[in-house]
């Protein structure tokens, strides 16, 4: 039986598993973790009766388009090669696919912006600028790239930043293993970018000059913590007089046997000297006992509506934490469904909350849950 507190399930869509979900103008777009499906289009205007209306396919085998963002009549999806998707087919090029979604039910491809290497991973989009994590020539791992889409048929790079040691072509030498030094994705708030950087940690960038991002500070958890930093989420209002950032670690790719990953509370009032001061963990997981990957934390909502922050917490489903008192965050609601019959356990991967408060939870393996707080 599902484990539920403070949540009502409104509807369920039996679709292939996804890496990201976004809702725009009554349409949910799901980016799929494994091909050949790239993006599924779901009409959710009737919240109780969602309908799949289209599925866009990947152009090449061995690739995926597991991330998707939509705003201002545009939809963007990544195009990336990864080991678990197999070897990319002939003619593969990584990058970003740009669609016209003025008719939100019928995405129309209008441009493909190519990169080199494995391509674009996660990204954010404000309707004009896209903030990418992507591979680029001359660099080890993914870096931060800012792309102007004011003319979506002619995307233009306007800024980039890399962690010291990544620019191999420039003579830099990483001081940590190359596999650990890679950007996960940036999130913008005002003239700042908050950038998760996998096992390297995370950084705060000044982008008041968008063409020349400058590092304000950076921090790493390793040692002693084993999991990579997945998301840096700046809270758009003060908590107890503090500017606060939530840093979600991802419960995969641990550098050693570890207890499940969790999320951090970080005081960023003094940006040059950020200070972690608390953490978020699902009750019962903090036992000190190592657990399989994808047991713990993954991803919070990236558009914060209130002090209640919904998280996709892998095998624990949806978890909602109230951080109104940042020194004593409380889990106030959760939704842990039964796994799909084809799988042994759930893997909540991404979560989106629309302006009406509805919560969309996509499982990495199977299914989209539409939920509401009660």
**Residue 179, phi then psi, degrees to nearest 5:** -60, -20
- Going by C-alpha positions, the residue among 177, 176, 165, 152 that lies closest to residue 99 is 152
Strand partners, 292: none
Confidence check: pLDDT of 223 > 90: no
Length of the chain: 374
Reference 192, options 146, 255, 248; nearest CA is 146
Give me the domains of the chain, ranges plus CATH numbers.
3-373 (2.130.10.10)
Q: pLDDT tens for residues 126-158? A: 999 999 999 999 999 999 999 999 999 999 999
C-alpha dihedral sign at 196, 202, 208, 214: negative
Q: What percent of the chain has pLDDT over 90?
A: 91
Strands across the sheet with 318-322, in order? Answer: 3-5, 330-336, 318-322, 308-312, 299-300
Distance CA 273, CA 240 (A): 18
Q: How far apart are CA 72 and CA 96, in angstroms?
A: 17
- pLDDT given for residue 355 in this prediction: 94
Residue the block writes with tokens 């009032």: 269
Tens digit of each residue's pLDDT (9 = 90 or more) over 15-25? 999 999 999 99
Predicted confidence band of residue 288 (pLDDT cuts 50, 70, 90):
confident
Write down the residue that tokens 């008041």 correspond to: 208
Q: Is the pLDDT of residue 178 over 80?
A: no
For the record, the structure tokens of 297 come out as 């934390």
For residue 189 the two structure tokens come to 């708030």
CA 350 – CA 335 distance, rounded (Å): 14
Mean pLDDT throughout 41-58? 97
Nearest to 337 by CA among 81, 11, 23: 11
């Amino acid at each position: 039986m599902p484990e539920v507190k403070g949540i009502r399930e409104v509807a369920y869509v039996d679709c292939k598993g996804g890496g990201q979900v976004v809702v725009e103008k009554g349409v949910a777009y799901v980016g799929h973790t494994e091909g050949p499906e790239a993006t599924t289009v779901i009409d959710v205007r009737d919240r109780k009766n969602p309908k799949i209306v289209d599925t866009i396919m990947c152009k090449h085998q061995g690739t995926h388009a597991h991330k998707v963002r939509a705003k201002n009549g545009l939809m963007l999806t990544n195009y990336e090669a990864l080991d678990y998707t197999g070897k990319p087919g002939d003619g593969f090029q990584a990058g970003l696919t740009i669609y016209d979604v003025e008719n939100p039910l019928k995405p129309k491809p209008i441009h493909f912006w190519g990169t080199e290497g494995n391509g674009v991973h996660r990204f954010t989009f404000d309707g004009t600028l896209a903030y990418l994590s992507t591979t680029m020539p001359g660099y080890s791992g993914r870096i931060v790239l800012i792309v102007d889409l004011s003319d979506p048929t002619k995307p233009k790079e306007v800024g980039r930043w890399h962690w010291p040691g990544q620019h191999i072509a420039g003579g830099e030498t990483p001081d940590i293993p190359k596999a650990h030094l890679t950007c996960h994705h940036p999130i913008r708030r005002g003239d700042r970018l908050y950038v998760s950087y996998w096992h390297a940690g995370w950084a705060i960038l000044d982008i008041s000059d968008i063409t020349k991002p400058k590092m304000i500070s950076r921090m790493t958890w390793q040692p002693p913590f084993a999991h990579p930093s997945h998301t840096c989420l700046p809270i758009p209002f003060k908590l107890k007089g503090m500017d606060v950032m939530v840093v979600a670690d991802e419960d995969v790719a641990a550098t050693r046997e570890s207890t499940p990953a969790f999320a951090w509370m970080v005081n960023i009032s003094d940006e040059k000297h950020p200070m972690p001061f608390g953490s978020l963990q699902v009750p019962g997981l903090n036992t000190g006992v190592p657990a399989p990957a994808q047991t713990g934390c993954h991803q919070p909502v990236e558009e914060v509506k209130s002090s209640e922050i919904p998280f996709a917490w892998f095998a624990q489903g949806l978890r909602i934490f109230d951080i109104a008192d940042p020194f004593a965050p409380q889990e106030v609601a959760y939704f842990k469904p039964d796994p799909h019959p084809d799988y042994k356990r759930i893997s909540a991967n991404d979560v989106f909350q629309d302006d009406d408060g509805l919560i969309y939870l996509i499982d990495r393996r199977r299914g989209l849950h539409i939920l509401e707080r009660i």
